[in-house]
Amino acid sequence: MIVTLTDFGNSEYLGVMKGVIYSISKKSRITDLYNEVDSHDIKEGAWILLRNYKFFPKESIFLCVIDPGVGSSRKGIIIETENYFFVGPDNGLMYPAAKEDEILRIVEIKYLEKISSTFHGRDIFSVTAAKLDKGINLDEMGQFIHDIKELEFYQEENKGEVVRIDRFGNIITNIPPKDKKSYKLKIRRKTKKLDFYRTYSDAPDNMLFLVEGSSNTLEIAMKEKRAEKKLKLKLGTKIEII
């Protein structure tokens, strides 16, 4: 199975990538993880991949294209882990998930010649994912390397960062919950008390609150409203929840 993660939205770029895959490997199965990552936001994509890759069948190939450095000297790579393959640019996007699943081997993609300078998703990564799915060996794809770009999420005890704002306006953090009924949110030198609720429906109307999200981290939410509009937080904002 090939799983796509991109910032292409519902554009022709995604369709063309799938067309390339089927042209090479007609029996491939392709599914989408998420293709609405904010444009060029490597960190948001890395978080989505980290929290969701393990729900896919073992030996799935993750085709990851969030690539603001396309056409530059950054490498294209394949990461083989204990259970999966990750194909995409060497910009940190795939590193947290690959590290968690234990990296076995890394290949710098070197076998392709005729490529565009602006669409490596089509000309390099889709081709490579399709060939992997057909059973082509890693050593035929390029040269083995050891060092790749690392990406880490900021976290120290009760401190963390905004890792995602979902389509409902919930502010997702990387801070794990504790057994507490209320917390203090510290941000921009201001402190705000937030109650914790088990579900969104348990919370009162028109109030900010905390909930444990599907990623098992704390989310700041408002019942049927957008918490991000209330707090005006952005991806990467550092926060403390105690």
Q: Which of 117, 145, 173 is the last residue of a domain?
A: 145
Q: Please say whether the dihedral angle defined by the alpha carbons of residues 59, 63, 69 and 74, taken in this order, is positive or negative.
A: positive
Q: How far apart are CA 63 and CA 86, in angstroms?
A: 6
CB-count exposure of residue 229 (10 Å: 0-12, 13-18, 19+): exposed
Give yes or no: residues 130 and 71 share one domain: yes
Please give the model's pTM, rounded to 2 decimal places.
0.94
**pLDDT tens by residue, 23-78:** 999 999 999 999 999 999 999 999 999 999 999 999 999 999 999 999 888 999 99
Calculate the alpha carbon distances from 39 to 35, 42, 43, 67, 178 in Å.
10, 9, 11, 9, 33
pLDDT at 210: 97
37: DSSP letter: P
What pLDDT shows up at residue 64? 99
Residue 113 in this model has a pLDDT that exceeds 90? no
Q: Are residues 141 and 194 in the same domain?
A: no
Please say which residue of 145, 172, 206 terminates a domain: 145
The reply to whether 170 and 217 lie within a common domain is yes
Instruction: Answer yes or no: is pLDDT of 114 > 90.
Output: no
Q: In the structure, what pLDDT confidence band is assigned to residue 112 with cuts at 50, 70 and 90?
A: confident
Token pair in block for residue 4:
């796509």
CATH assignment of the domain containing 175: 2.40.30.90
Domain finish residue from 99, 120, 145: 145
Residue pLDDT, tens place only, 208-238 = 999 999 999 999 999 999 999 999 999 999 9
DSSP label of 242: -
Give pLDDT tens digits for 130-147: 999 999 999 999 999 999
Long-range contacts of 56-61 (CB under 8 A, 24+ apart): 56/1, 56/3, 56/84, 57/1, 58/83, 58/84, 59/1, 59/83, 59/84, 59/85, 60/1, 60/2, 60/3, 60/84, 60/85, 61/1, 61/2, 61/3, 61/85, 61/86, 61/87, 61/129, 61/132, 61/133
Indicate if 174 and 140 belong to the same structural domain. no
81 beta partners: 103
Residues 80 and 192 in one domain: no
Tokens 């976290």 found at: 155
In which domain, by residue range, is 173 found? Answer: 159-241
Q: Who's near 49: CB < 8 A, 6+ residues apart?
A: 5, 33, 62, 64, 93, 94, 96, 97
CA distance 129 to 25: 10
* Residue 62 falls inside a structural domain: yes
Question: Is 218 part of any domain?
Answer: yes
